[in-house]
């Protein structure tokens, strides 16, 4: 499963999950740190990621 962590979760959580072998992006990794929910959800869907 591929994850996208929303802005309310820390970037260090994303890093910890990556180190544990998970495919994780944080919204800030892809330039969506200030994006509205619709844009974040659209990206998650296009990139086949589960938004957390």
pLDDT at 1: 86
Region label for 19, one of left (φ > 0), alpha (ψ between -120 and 50) or beta (otherwise): alpha
The pLDDT of residue 22 is: 97
Residues spanned by the domain of 27: 2-51
CB within 8 Å of 51: residues ≥ 6 apart: 3, 4, 6, 40, 41, 44
Consecutive sets of 10 residues in the chain, 52 residues long: mean pLDDT of each?
95 95 97 97 98 97
pLDDT recorded at residue 23? 98
Tell me the pTM. Answer: 0.91
SS3 label, residue 6: coil
Confidence at residue 17, expressed as pLDDT on a 0 to 100 scale: 96
The total number of structural domains that make up the chain: 1
Report the candidate in 12, 6, 10 with the shortest Cα–Cα distance to residue 41: 6
């Amino acid at each position: 499963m591929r994850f996208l962590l929303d802005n309310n979760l820390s970037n260090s959580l994303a890093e910890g999950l990556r180190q544990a072998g998970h495919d994780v992006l944080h919204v800030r990794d892809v330039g969506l740190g200030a994006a509205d929910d619709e844009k974040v959800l659209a990206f998650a869907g296009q990139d086949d990621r589960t938004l957390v």
